[in-house]
Amino acid sequence: MIRFFLSAAFLAGCAAPQSDAQVAADPAPAETMADGGMVAAANPHAVEAGLEILRAGGGAADAAVAVQAALGLVEPQSSGIGGGGFLVYFDAATQDVTVYDGRERAPAAATERLFYGEDGELMGFVEAWMSGRAPGVPGAVDALRLAQADHGQLEWSALFDYSVKLAETGFEVSPRLNNLLVRLGEFGPLDERPGTATYFYDARGEARPVGYVLKNPDYAWTLRSIADNPRALLDSDIAGDIVTAARGAPHGSLLTVEDLNAYEAQKEDAVCRPYRVWLVCSAPPPSSGGVAINSALEILENSPIRENGPDTAAGWHYLIEAMRLAYADRDRYVADPEYADVPVDALLDEAYLARRAALVSADAAIKGVEAGDPFAGSETYGEDTTEPAPGTSHFVIVDGAGNVVSMTTTVESAFGSHIFTNGFLLNNQLTDFAREAYDEEGRLLANAPAGGKRPRSSMSPVIVLDRETGEFVLAAGSPGGNSIIAYVLKTVVGVLDWGLTPQQAAELPNVIARGETVRIDEGFSPEIADALRAMGHQVAEPEGEISGIHAVMKTDDGLIGAADPRREGQARTP
């Protein structure tokens, strides 16, 4: 086993069950040591829901169901049962890595003109986001059903008790939830639409204040329905309610009950590639995580990134260039492989990526980064410029047997489509398609809308293994729209190449380099930013990035967890 550099300070996790009040009040530990399992997630209640399952003898797959059920209640702005996600599972006994794909699908009736209005004009992004055309068939619960059926140790019906009780008795509105309710109420329909107006806002239209005890009996009823029938969202009366709600929104949905009935989550092989002494695994297309993360890492393996740490301009320069090259290929080629030829092997071919890495110089930015040609001269797709949508949540669970879940889960933008039914929000995931199907040169985009198609995702749930032993080393992921790739890449590089703990890596300033602009986080060194500008990088002014990195790493001394300080998460042990 490789021994990693560890910080001297660790805060112990709580070993005994806590009351709801205690859970809500406890601050997130910076780092936690554990031997018997760990949950790292974006809200203390979600962490406690998972830990309750681990204490009861459940495994990582069982706890994942409980964590998602809680997140949909206490963090509705980011994920929920009305959304989708990708779950990467490491089986400690077999050392297999499997992906459970719960990505939403478009209605069968969708066409490439999905986001054109009745007037024949293309909708703007915000209009599309909050329209009935935005929701896809929700798949997160069905992916969890499939994973839990394969790996669970408890009865499915026993996994929802914590969240059912919390929905009935209420939870305190957190600062982040309140802040987003205030901001969304200023320009979106969240404070006007049926259900959301009376749930999230008072009679005067004011957002529920911090500390307000918010109850959701409808959500409790829905969770009980799912506990009784894992496919309740897809084949019960709730499916009809989803369709009715989506069709009643502006630019009504094309969804049908038959679309929901037909949905099946998929079990896939992970995209795994060697990186130095490790094996890095993530989700396959339509997720771009496995392709983009591994592409960037292979480019970095051809660079002196290890000799140039986060306190140097050179270190960030190499990371930026790897991001730019990986994003360019991702933007052009990655889509739903059922509808487009996605050349995963060609994009991750060592010789191809060596040619891409050769474009990187030591002291000057690449001028005009473009996608490469892994098809070796054949026709390629057009260039996609799909807008970012910084929602989503990520959690990591390690159980006492060493099994691991790394799951990124989302309703897409903040509060999804703002369409509410039965106590939960519907996603706006279809805005992850390119709204225009063709580029300026008339080439079809790989990620154009189509009936039954899954939109491309940036979700990058990662599990890293030791190449020699096959043992678990690190699990990580983040929300953040298409910036997820940058957030996760920074974290992986921070741990594997720069010798940081997961918490130190999560706390590094974020840098996002997609195209010509390099966005930097607040707290990024002004001196390093100026040095990057001198190399020719178009570095924007610092702004707050909204990553929500959660990670767990295995070391010789036990597990250590990380929770991004930019959100409200924790990493705790049973």
CATH of the domain at 230: 3.60.20.40
**Within 56-174, where are the H helices?**
60-74, 125-129, 140-151, 161-169
Calculate the CA 243 to chain-centre distance: 25
**Mind listing the pLDDT tens digit for each residue in 206-217?**
999 999 999 999
Residue 22: per-residue pLDDT: 31
Task: Spell out a b/e string for 202-240, using b for 16 or more CB atoms within 10 Å of the CB, else e.
Answer: eeeeebbeeeeebebebbbbbbbbbbebbbbbbebebbe
Residue 16: per-residue pLDDT: 26
Which sign, positive or negative, has the C-alpha torsion 515, 548, 95, 335?
Answer: negative
**Domain limits at 148?**
20-170+215-268+386-510+545-572
Omega before residue 565 within 30° of 0, cis: no
Nearest by Cα to 389 from 470, 479, 265: 479
Query: Could you tell me if residue 352 is inside a domain?
Result: no
Which residues pair with residue 466 across a beta bridge? 278
Averaged pLDDT, groups of 10, the chain, 574 residues long: 26 27 37 74 98 98 98 96 98 98 98 94 94 97 98 98 98 96 91 95 96 98 98 98 97 98 98 98 97 98 97 98 97 94 95 97 96 70 58 94 97 95 97 91 91 97 98 97 96 98 98 96 96 98 92 95 96 95
- Cα–Cα distances in Å, from 227 out to 1, 145, 174, 467? 40, 10, 27, 39
CA dist., res. 13 & res. 34, Å (int): 8
Query: Could you tell me if residue 264 is inside a domain?
Result: yes
**Mind listing the pLDDT tens digit for each residue in 161-187?**
999 999 999 999 999 999 999 999 888
Asked whether 84 and 78 are in contact (CB, 8 A), the reply is no
Query: Could you tell me if residue 366 is inside a domain?
Result: no
Kindly state the tokens that stand for 154: 């408890």
Helices and strands counted in the chain (H then E) = 19, 21
Residue 380: per-residue pLDDT: 55
Query: Could you tell me if residue 446 is inside a domain?
Result: yes
Query: Could you tell me if residue 3 is inside a domain?
Result: no
Query: Could you tell me if residue 560 is inside a domain?
Result: yes
Parallel, antiparallel, or unpaired for β 424-425 and 420-421?
A: antiparallel
Residue 19: per-residue pLDDT: 30
Query: Could you tell me if residue 337 is inside a domain?
Result: no
Residue 15: per-residue pLDDT: 26
Q: Into how many domains does the chain fold?
A: 1
Query: Could you tell me if residue 458 is inside a domain?
Result: yes
Does the pTM of the predicted model rise above 0.75? yes
